[in-house]
Structure formats: C-alpha cells, structure tokens
Structure 1
Amino acid sequence: MRNFPSLFFVFSVLFLSEAQAAKVAIVIDDIGYRYTDHRVLELPNQVTFSVLPHTPYGKKIALQGYEKSRDIFLHIPMEAENGKKLGPGGLTTSMNEQDIHQSLNKAFTEIPFALGINNHMGSKLTKLYQPMAWTMSYLKQNQLLFLDSKTISGSQAEQAALDVGVPVRNRHVFLDNQLDEGYIRQQFSEMVAKASKNDIAIAIAHPHPETVDALKKLIPLLAEHNIELVPLSQLYQQQSHQSSIASTAE
C-alpha cells in the first residue's frame, strides 16, 4: 500500500503531460517597407513580429505591437550567396567584430524593446562560424535571443549560439513561400503535424495581405488539434526550464 501514492503521482504526471497542449510560435518577419504591413496588427497578440531595421514603417509597427504586449524581434539582414542587396542594418562578410556590434547596436537603439534577432536572408553569412560568433557575442552581452531562419542547411548560427551561451531556436516551416491560400493551408498543416509530433513548432511568414487573410482563418483551428499559439519567447523559456530539469536529473 505504501507504493500507491508514488504510483498515483507518476500516473498523474504522465496524464498531465499527455494532455498538455503542444505549442506553436508564428513569426511574421520582413516587416517595415510597405504601408500594408500594418495589417499584421489584425493577427492575435501571440503572433510575434520581426521588424527590418531602419525602414519606413518598421519602428511604428513594432511600437504598436509592443504596446499590445507582443514579442518583437529584429529581422537583421545578412549577406546572401546570391549577392542580393541587403538594405540598411545589414551584416556582411567584410565586417569585423566591431562593425557587426556597431550595426546591431544601431538597430537596437531604434527598437530597444526587441527581445532578439532572426536573420533576413543570410545564406552566405550564417555558413561562416566567425561572424556568427561575433553576432552571438553581442546578443550574449545584451541578454538577447536568436532565431535561425534556416535559409540554408549549412548554417553555423546554432553552434555559435550554443558555444557563446545565447538561447537559440530554429525555424521549422515557412508558411507563405507561395502566395496561394491552398499552399499556405498546406504549410500550416505541416506546422501542426510537426508540433503534434515534437510538442513545439516555429513557423515564419511574411506581412502579405494574402498571408494575413489566410492566418486569420487558420489560427482558430489550432485548438481542434490541442495546439496553443504562443509568443516566440515562451519557447525559449520552455527550453530553459527543460534544460534545468535535465541538469537536476543528472
């Protein structure tokens, strides 16, 4: 009989674990260049915004989102293999550590309440460990987060973040590479499947009117799959909590 309470506790924990909703974060990045980007404010407050630095509408939309307690990130342009123009605030392979830190500091001076960054493009820069380590050292000094948009499979960003001690997550799904509602629905279903299998999923989308319209229809369907939409920062908190539990168990 003395074993029953402990067994009951174990079964209770297992039941609660199984019943707990999986979590997804949806990040809308590329925000800032078009007036229509304001439409992202129509989405639920759990949707995270990632704003391009030094753009015509970026700061205003970021501030409006922040006032509604949204998570705000900076969408930092990084050099791509195709040589595409980066725009203001971009990080390139020609920069040294001081250049990278100064550029990031200007971006955060404009939007000081941003919680971290994710990369805009970056197929060339994120493959190089040293500039990513310099980027992470700035984030570490300022207690900021990193989301790897995973624009290329050989990204060194996660390893650099882990080495420096920066909380890092990776994108799992792009929702709107094609501006077609059927395609967005298909990608949304993939996000749901990944979350159901792995307990979390992170999706990136963009501030196209077509995307906003589709997400307004699709997000309410998450509850049917026992999935909770959460701000991106919550997944870092969950990661930190899980790491603490694992460390205690050891």
Structure 2
Amino acid sequence: MRIKKWIAVCALVSCVSAHAKQVAIVIDDIGYQRNDMSALNIPGQLTFSILPFTPYAKRFAAQASAQNKEIMLHAPMQALDGKTLGPGALTMDMQKDDFQTMLRDALDSLPNIKGVNNHMGSLLTQQNTPMNWTMEVLKEHDLYFLDSKTTPKSKAQTIASLYGVDNVARHVFLDNITTEKQMRFRFDQLKRIAQRYDYAVAIAHPYPETFAFLQNSLAELEQEGIQLVPLSELVQARTLRLAQANSPTLNGE
C-alpha cells in the first residue's frame, strides 16, 4: 500500500510540475447582500467565501454548488480593533467546547465546504490556543485553511502545518481601493507573483466595481499562460510541490 501511495504522489507531483502557473481569486464576505448573488455570473473558477448564518448564505452556497463553483467558510474571528463580527463569531473569551461547537455549526450550515479562511482575525490568528482549536476541527473535516493575513504576526499557517492541515496565505488584496487604476495595479502584481512562484492567491470583495473589473480582466490570465483555478486545486499543487522539495524519495535520492 505504501509503495502504491508513493507512486500516486509521484504521478501527481509530475502532473503539477507540468501545469501552467496558477492563480486563485477568492471573493470574501459573501452572504449579506442580494447583489452578492451576481458574483456567480462572473466567468471562470472563482472561489467564494461565505459568512455563516447571513441572509443569503444558504442560497448562494446552493447555487454555487449547482454551478460547480468552490465555496469556503469565511469564519469571523476577533480583530484587534474590536469591530463587530456578526453571527458565528470566534472570540478570545470562548472556552474550547463553545469555540469548536460554533465553528462546527458554521461549517454544517453550508453544503460542500472545501476550506476556511478568517474574516478579520487580526487578534485571534496571533494566538496559539484558538488556532490549535481551529485546526483540530479543520483536520476532522479534511478542510484546507487560507490565511487572509490580516496581521503579519499571524500564526495560523504554522499551526495548520503542525496539525497536517493543508494551507496557503493570501498574497494580494485586489480591491482595498476600488478604483480601476488601483485594481489594475493589484491584478498585475498578482500575475507577477504567479509567474515568479508558480502560484498566487488574491482576495477580493463583493463590490460592483470589483465584479466589473473581473469581468473585463480575467481573460488576461489564460492569455498569459496562467490558470485560474479553485483554491483547493492550488492548495493541493502547493502541498505536492512542498512534498517533492522535502522528500528524498520524490527527488530520486
């Protein structure tokens, strides 16, 4: 069995190395507004991160699944500035059982979840204990974690790796400023990162300006030899590259 497993891993690594550069674009903050539904009209394999227990969360998740679009849980986590988090919030004052029950309930509220990323979380992702609790649940559910990197001091990726949870971090916020000029600057930055490192991850938001920009710009990726893929595919490819880099067997030694 072990030999067969290594053969399968080697085949996957060879497949990954032959693929084009990859980009994943995650649309965060889905669920509060009716207009969020129009994100499903954007062509290509965008990934959508849904806030739990929000008015349009279940409806969006169902329609996205029907279109074979990847969805994630956008888990609200406590921020340094104390902003209101909304339903499903994970905070520093919670005990382990309450924390993990809240996270499991949020995951169970949406169908076909592939991964989780943090909504806000500049305080919580710096803390060992709540990140341990988070990764225990993600490991149970076989989910990946995207660190939204709302703080440079985040420990989320390190702890995810300790728990064997596949993970990746955001490289670019596409639309912190929603002018055409600024989104163009960030989109070009995203492409440069992908060309240099073989992959890149952007986070965007359900703004009309963002939707219009993506409608007009996503075709550039294929034209420049970059694949737009669901985040799970990019995470798997990254994990396999790391396995190849770190394994004497996969390196032929």
The TM-score normalised by the length of structure 1 is 0.90
Q: Secondary structure at the match of 1:115?
A: strand
Task: Say whether the 8 Å CA contact 1:96–1:131 is kept in structure 2.
Answer: no
- How far apart are residue 224 of structure 1 and its match? 2.5
Separation in 1, partners of 2:222, 2:107: 35
Match of 2:3? none
Deviation of the 1:45 alpha carbon: 4.1
Aligned counterpart, 2:113: 114
Shift of 1:70: 1.1
Match of 1:239 in 2: 238
Matched, 1:41 2:35: no
Where structure 2 has 5 or more consecutive residues not aligned to the other structure, the ranges are: 1-15
The alignment's C-alpha RMSD in Å is 1.7
Partner of 1:206: 205
Runs of 4+ off more than 4 Å: none
| Structure 1: 5+ residue stretches without partners | 1-15
* 8 A Cα contact 2:53 2:106, kept in partner: yes
CA 1:154–1:244 in 2, change beyond 3 Å: closer, same or farther?
closer
Give the greater-gyration-radius structure (CA): 1
Separation in structure 2 between the aligned mates of residue 224 and residue 116 of structure 1, nearest angstrom: 29
Q: Is the CA contact (8 Å cut-off) linking 1:39 and 1:209 kept in structure 2?
A: no
How far, CA to CA, are the matches of 1:112 and 1:209 in structure 2?
26
* 8 Å Cα contact 2:31-2:56 kept in structure 1: yes
The equivalent of 2:13 in structure 1 is none
1:130 equivalenced with 2:129 (yes/no): yes
Give, in whole Å, the separation in 2 of the partners of 1:41 and 1:20. Answer: 26
1:185 aligns with 2:184: yes
- Name the SS of the counterpart of 1:74 in structure 2: strand
CA distance, structure 2, for counterparts of residue 99 and residue 169 of structure 1: 26
AA aligned to 2:60 is: I
Contact 1:45/1:69 (<8 A) preserved: no
C-alpha displacement of 1:49: 0.5
User: Could you tell me how far 1:20 is from its partner in structure 2?
Assistant: 4.4
Q: 1:224 to 1:45 in 2, by over 3 A?
A: closer
Aligned to 2:25: 26
- Give the TM-score normalised by the residue count of structure 2: 0.89
Identity %: 47
Query: What is aligned with 2:12?
Result: none
Q: In structure 2, what residue type is equivalent to 1:225?
A: E
